[in-house]
Structure 1
Amino acid sequence: MRIPIDLTYILQTFRARIALTWTIVIAENILIALIPLLIGWSIDGLLAGKVTELGWMVATLGGLGVIAVGRRIYDTRAYGTIRLHLGAELHRRSSALQISKRNARIDMSREFVDFLEEEAPQLITAFIQIGVSLAVLTYFDPALGLSSILVIAGMLLVYGCFHRRFYNVNSRLNEQREQQVDVLAKGKLLGVYQHLRALRRHEVAISDTEAVVYGGIFLLQIGFIAFNLYQAAGLPGITAGRIFSIASYSWEYVEAALMLPIALQSWSRLNEITRRINSSGDLSLG
């Protein structure tokens, strides 16, 4: 039985390359997650006439720069190789399809690698940042930790109301993309115009759905930040450095948490692409 091309197939086939880059991503993001705390300590240290904390912060930033540059140099080569082999494999499997569909599906398959190269590291970043921020905010005040959990639950609930719509509009867009080469080959101006107009209509539908989802999420973020600042201001023995750390971790928490619905949206799209590129015919919604 032929193994379907999907994220699992790519992770299994290229496990060594992906494991190395993700290990570097984890190290990079642990350092990133510590920066607001180090800045807060540095502020309090400098106000007390000490520079030790500032030295630790500078050393951490230097190490972070070296790791970040090295990872990006490696990533370009590793994921470029994966795209090459994946495109060749999909071409071999879909050789019986029309050129238009084969062309579109090879382009779609690159979105798997794009997800692993760009969005998966961001998701790793999000989980690390969420974990560190939740721990720090809970340490400062349990009420801050509880508000952190509640805002993520609210964001996922907002996305869940639109999950099926994301899948359907992406399916219509991909169906239209599969027709592009055939439409261009016919050379009829009206046909090309209608095709491009259909692409625009589906892209607008996706964008409008995203706008509604992120509008709802943004309202949750405003409430979260406002509550945390109000709560922090009333904590006993609060210092300028701690206020900065709470504000920074609260903001970074909502930025990281925002990656969860974005990742779920991408997952919906990749599920549709998986179903499409592993099929042997049309998948029109009708």
Structure 2
Amino acid sequence: MFASSEITVRTILKDNKAKVAITWLLVALENVFMVLLPLFIGFAIDGLLTGALTALYWLAIVLALLTLVSVVRRFYDTRVYGNIRVEVGEAVDNQLRHQHPSPKNISVRNARIDMSRELVDFLENDAPPLMTAATQLVASVVILGAFHLKLAISAVIAGIIMMLIYSWFHGYFVRINGLLNSRLEQQVTILSLVPFRGIRRHLERIKRREILISDAEAILYGLIFLILFGFVVANLWLSTLVPDPTAGQIFSVVTYSLEFVEAAVLLPITLQTLSRLTEISQRLNRQTEPEKQRAESK
């Protein structure tokens, strides 16, 4: 049973420490193997060019372990997070069950139970890619720095600029998601009480809010892509500074530069999800007017 009085991503993690720790340990192990792949591919290329197969065998072992860990994690995740969704949904319903069963309160109750599932969805579906992206970003910087310091500096500068760009959008995402969630809380009431034209007006307002969110995401992606394109061009030029590079080393530099780009592209959508969850957490723990009156009378 969900034990915390507040319902946030943090309290969900606190009440399910052991379960989530196991799945995140599997994610970390999976990320280690993924990070090592380009390096082992580079070793295998250099080995094959000299007629040696040892590095190729090690590459095959890493690929097999990566596959095994990935499959086991997905089996485990589905069962653990399914149970957590049930517990969180029940906790949200318990917060609202003493309300008068009016259409408005039922509408809010329905919407908030759906929203609570998004908190667990984040832990299952978004947190692993976020951990993967963070691991790839750090590993790419470290390994690129091992080839040449300027390659790592280029990556760090690109990362700082991306985070600054996102920080400008965070407040806007929270505000627009708040407007969208307010409309969703009214949906059951609107569907049950208003005529067809009112329903269409409601759906149009939802559409407008979704368009605002999508437009902001598109602008954010565009700005970040410009930064990343500059990073790739810069690192292709800087790769010429590597002393006496082998084919495997050039492959590794290019691959880790592209992995940095791939990880960086994941960040905007994941961070936008965090902005939405910030608003949802505030909403789930916000008292409605009837609840406030009962609390003040005690």
TM tier relative to shorter chain: over 0.9
CA contact (8 A) 1:225 1:250 kept: yes
Distance 2:269 2:215 in 1: 15
The offset of 1:187, in angstroms, is: 4.8
TM-score (norm 2): 0.91
Matches within 5 A, 1:163-202: 163-202=170-209
Say which of 226, 242, 245 aligns to 2:249: 242
Distance 2:108 2:66 in 1: 44
Gaps of 5+ in 1: none
What is aligned with 2:284?
Answer: 277
2:132 is aligned with 1:130: no
Task: Note the alpha carbon deviations across 1:42-98, whole angstroms, 9 max, x for none.
Answer: 111101111110100011000110110010011000000000111011101111170
2:50 is aligned with 1:23: no
CA contact (8 A) 2:38 2:252 kept: yes
Matches within 5 A, 1:1-40: 3-40=5-42
The offset of 1:127, in angstroms, is: 1.8
Matched length: 281
Distance 2:177 2:259 in 1: 30
What is aligned with 1:68?
Answer: 70
Distance 1:229 1:14 in 2: 45
The offset of 1:211, in angstroms, is: 0.3
What is aligned with 2:125?
Answer: 118
Helix, strand or coil at the partner of 1:124: helix
Task: Note the alpha carbon deviations across 1:20-58, whole angstroms, 9 max, x for none.
Answer: 100111011100100001111111110111111010001
Say which of 205, 209, 215 aligns to 2:216: 209
CA contact (8 A) 1:125 1:256 kept: yes
Identity of aligned residues (%): 44
Distance 1:122 1:109 in 2: 20
Say which of 149, 156, 163 aligns to 2:156: 149
Q: Which shows bigger deviation, 170-179 or 258-267?
A: 258-267
CA contact (8 A) 2:148 2:241 kept: no
2:8 is aligned with 1:41: no
CA contact (8 A) 1:41 1:53 kept: yes
Distance 2:5 2:264 in 1: 33
Q: Which shows bigger deviation, 117-126 or 253-262?
A: 253-262
What is the CA RMSD across the aligned residues, in angstroms?
Answer: 1.3
Distance 1:226 1:151 in 2: 12
Distance 2:274 2:242 in 1: 41
